[in-house]
Amino acid sequence: MRRPWISTNLALSADGKISDTAKRPSGWTSSADHERLIGLRRPADALMVGHGTLKSDRMTLTVPGQERQPLRCIISRHGEIAPDHPVFVKPGGDIHILATACLANQGNAPATHHQGDLPSFLETLAVTHGVRHLHCEGGGQLIAALAALDFIDEFHATLAGHTIFGGMEAATATGVPGPWLPESRRFEITSFDPRPATGECFVSWRRCGRFQCA
């Protein structure tokens, strides 16, 4: 199948969590991490996020000051998103919503609706909409799905040593702890940028097997 080149980005606490058990929204990392988040969005043709993360973070999936805005892709079981959500209010790229189960009635929501599985949606983005680089910002359940398919080509993380969330039900980079991935995925570190003043470290990895790895 044809698919975009896929990168992901998350912030991880010292104990490997992306949020607490109450699903705390983003904003718990430094301003430098937020700047990095925007920088990673800039080269993407499309941004993708799970419905739960979109809802908790009130995301608009835009790039400030950039004329060309990436497509905004939302993955949901039923595609049911409140029509007053900021993503529908703030100008940006065209919105595409994938419902992986039955598609709910969306009324007048300004979006293109799709129904089916994640691989088919990714192929549609590549073939029909010319998406070459897709950037995913979580949540963990969506990144787990991409990892299980072995579709993650580049992985970015902010390791936030200043916070410990704890909690068995707090999500990790691949969702709430549960079944293991089908097999291990080998990545190579391509960037390691510690920031002792903020207690954070910016790390990037690329998937071995598709790229030259040492």
- Could you tell me the residue ranges of all domains in the chain? 5-207
Instruction: Indicate if the pLDDT at residue 154 is higher than 90.
Output: yes
- Collapsing DSSP to helix, strand or coil, 163 comes out as coil
pLDDT(61) > 90: yes
Q: How confident is the model at residue 104 (pLDDT cuts 50, 70, 90)?
A: low
**Closest Cα to residue 153, out of 186, 121, 182?**
186
Residues making up the chain, counted from first to last: 214
**pLDDT exceeds 90 at position 125:** yes
pLDDT bracket for residue 108 (50, 70, 90): low
Write down the mean pLDDT value for the chain: 92
Report the percentage of the chain scoring pLDDT > 70. Answer: 95
C-alpha distances in Å from residue 188, one per residue of 10, 41, 142, 191, 207: 17, 21, 22, 9, 6
Class of residue 89 by CB neighbours under 10 A (exposed 0-12, middle 13-18, buried 19+): exposed
pLDDT at residue 203, rounded to an integer? 98
Return the higher-pLDDT residue of 184 and 40. 40
What's the Cα-to-Cα distance from 91 to each of 65, 86, 118, 126, 204, rounded to whole Å? 12, 9, 26, 23, 30
Q: How far is CA 20 from CA 107, 145, 155, in A?
A: 33, 21, 21
Q: What is the pLDDT averaged over residues 68-86?
A: 92
Q: Over 90: is that where the pLDDT of 176 sits?
A: no
pLDDT at 99 (0 to 100): 93
- pLDDT number for residue 4: 98
Indicate the SS3 state at residue 196: coil
**98: which strand partners?**
75, 114
157/175 Cα distance (integer angstroms): 15
Mean pLDDT check: name the lowest of 8-12, 121-125, 143-147, 174-178.
174-178
Question: How large is the average pLDDT for residues 131-136?
Answer: 98
Sheet holding 154-160, edge to edge: 112-115, 95-99, 71-76, 46-50, 133-136, 5-13, 154-160, 200-207, 187-195
Answer whether residue 214 shows pLDDT above 80: no
**Model confidence at 101: pLDDT above 80:** yes
- Whose CA is closest to 96, among 122, 57, 65, 59? 122
* Cα of 38 vs its chain's centroid, Å: 13
- HSE-up (13 A, CA, CB side) for residue 106: 22
Coil vs helix vs strand at 12: strand
In the predicted model, is pLDDT for residue 191 greater than 70? yes
Model pLDDT, residue 182: 84
Give the pLDDT band of residue 106 (cuts 50, 70, 90): low
Q: Which CATH architecture has domain 5-207?
A: 3-Layer(aba) Sandwich (3.40)
- pLDDT at 79 > cutoff 90: no
139 cis-preceded (ω within 30 degrees of 0): yes
pLDDT tens for residues 10-60?
999 999 999 988 888 889 999 999 999 999 999 999 999 999 999 999 999
C-alpha–C-alpha distance, residues 114 and 148, integer Å = 22
